Amino acid sequence: MSAGEHDALVPIAIGALEATRLDTAALVDSVRRDDCGGIVVFEGTVRSPNHGHDVLALEYEAWQDRAPRQLELFARECAEQFGLGAALAVHRVGRVEVGEPAVVIVTVSMHRDVAFVAASALIDRVKAEGWIWKKELRADGEIWVDGC
Amino acid sequence: MTVVLFFAQAREAAGTRRTEIGGDTVAQVLAAADATFGPEFAAIRAACTIVVDDEIVPRAEHDHHTAGAELAILPPVSGGAGHETDPGVIRVAVLTISDRATAGEYEDLTGPAVEAVVAEHLRSELVARALVADEHDAIVAALVEWCDGGAVDLVLTNGGTGLAPRDVTPEATRSVLDAEAPGLGELMRAAGLAHTPFAALSRQVAGRRGRTIVVNLPGSVKGATESLEAVVSVLGHACATAGSGAS
């Protein structure tokens, strides 16, 4: 019997912080696999205006000793929970310009429905639990932001 | 000495990423940091999560928990607060209501069991716990303090829900609620009835005071655990709705 849909996938889990512009296509390629037919990609990008303020850029700060390990853990637990072939969570630190990606989530599954749900769950967890903060750089000042 | 790490707005207010502070407990180290860095820092720090040696230490334990080797002061992260319907991290307080546990005749096992169910099912932080006798006024005082203090989203009581003359928890709870949520009591009793007809004798009340949800649980470990598990899936939404100020 060939490797079929009833065999559990051994998942790939990737979590990382990056200090330079995220290359979404390259991140997707890093978890692409032949035995999975569905890939869902989520990019969180810097938005302006935000709540009525013109935003110049966001400055991200992370707990450098913990956040990469957290992201890898969230990806691994997401992959295990949803039976994925791969899960990836990569977040920027430093200054991110308007329109640029601040975070990329990729979920890779045998089928698309699971990949969509898993991607949503993974970004929610990254935002809720990851030790990552953002400061909004506005035309009229700077402010640390609790909300999304 | 404990290595203290500061992040984001706490780092800016302290003017440093890292320092060393002496103190036996988390509360002592935080008080020393507040004294060193001033009121602006203290106000930011009060909203921070504290992690000691890789373990989140809930507020209720700051007085007792050792300060450890490394203590991180972590402001709220970007998720959660952005959507009104996102329950975020639910701040939970647990009130054990028991004459015998208050008198020291036995150890309170139900409170910790409730906390364990909360930790397993809710994205939450235990911010307070207390033990009071089966006295109407003592129960009311604890509920009002937590509900009106602005720092608790969900109060879970256990005990005093039966038919004994000393059982006054439902009446005390009802007297402080702005709005009752009878469906929660019905759901908990229905779950209990699957195991025992005695669940019909439980009188738990639930509802909202201000922006805080209050839920009575029975006093036994088994009863409290099963009742909480019956309603836990809707408590996040209940807290989000109560806390949003939406009508």
Residue A146: what pLDDT? 67
Do A148 and B81 lie within an 8 Å CB cutoff?
yes
**What is the per-residue pLDDT across B100-112, written as a single tens digit (0 to 9) for each?**
998 988 889 999 9
Most confident of B17-31, B41-55, B70-84, B115-129: B17-31
Contact, B44 vs B9, CB < 8 A?
yes
CB nearest to A144's CB, from B74, B75, B89? B75
pLDDT at B87 over 50: no
Q: Which residues of A touch B81 (CB under 8 A)?
A: 146-148
Rounded-to-integer distance, Cα B127 and Cα B70, Å: 22
Q: Which residues of B touch A148 (CB under 8 A)?
A: 78-79, 81-83
Rounded-to-integer distance, Cα B43 and Cα A73, Å: 32
Q: How many other CB atoms are there within 10 angstroms of residue A79's CB atom?
A: 26
pLDDT at B247 over 60: no
Instruction: Please compute the mean of the pLDDT values over residues B206-216 and round it to a whole number.
Output: 96
Residue B82: what pLDDT? 37
Helix, strand, coil percent content, chain B, rounded in steps of 5:
45, 25, 35
Question: What stretch(es) of chain B map to CATH 3.40.980.10?
Answer: 90-244
- Fold topology of B90-244: Molybdenum Cofactor Biosythetic Enzyme; Chain A (3.40.980)
Secondary structure of residue B107 in the 3-state scheme? coil
Average pLDDT of chain B is: 90
Q: How long is chain A?
A: 148
Secondary structure of residue A47 in the 3-state scheme? coil
Nearest-neighbour CA in chain B from A131: distance (Å) = 6
Contact, B92 vs B123, CB < 8 A?
no
- Fold topology of B2-74: Ubiquitin-like (UB roll) (3.10.20)
CA angle B5, B9, B15 (to 5 degrees): 60
Q: Sheet containing A101-109: give its strands across.
A: A12-18, A86-92, A101-109, A38-45
Residue B44: what pLDDT? 86
Instruction: Please compute the mean of the pLDDT values over residues B124-145 and round it to a whole number.
Output: 92
Do B88 and A131 lie within an 8 Å CB cutoff?
no
Contact, A54 vs A109, CB < 8 A?
no
Label the pairing between strands B212-217 and B154-158: parallel
For A65, the closest chain B residue by CA position comes to: B54
Do B82 and A148 lie within an 8 Å CB cutoff?
yes
φ/ψ (deg, to 5) at A85: -80, -30
Question: What stretch(es) of chain B map to CATH 3.10.20.30?
Answer: 2-74
Smallest Cα–Cα separation from A106: which of A34, A23, A50, A35? Answer: A23
Residue B207: what pLDDT? 97
pLDDT at A2 over 80: no
Rounded-to-integer distance, Cα B225 and Cα B220, Å: 8
Query: Which residues in chain B (45-74) have CB-CB distances under 8 A to chain A?
Result: 54, 72, 74
A42 compared with B145, residue with greater pLDDT: A42
Number of H helices, E strands in chain B: 9, 11
Residue B81: what pLDDT? 41
Rounded to a whole number of angstroms, the CA Rg of chain B reads 20
**What is the per-residue pLDDT across B53-62, written as a single tens digit (0 to 9) for each?**
999 998 888 9
Suggest the residue from B12, B50, B77, B122 to mutate for an interface test with chain A (most A CBs closer than 10 A): B77
Helix, strand, coil percent content, chain A, rounded in steps of 5:
30, 40, 35
Residue B149: what pLDDT? 81
Rounded to two decimals, what is the model's pTM?
0.60
Instruction: Please compute the mean of the pLDDT values over residues A107-135 and round it to a whole number.
Output: 93
CB nearest to A134's CB, from B72, B78, B123? B78
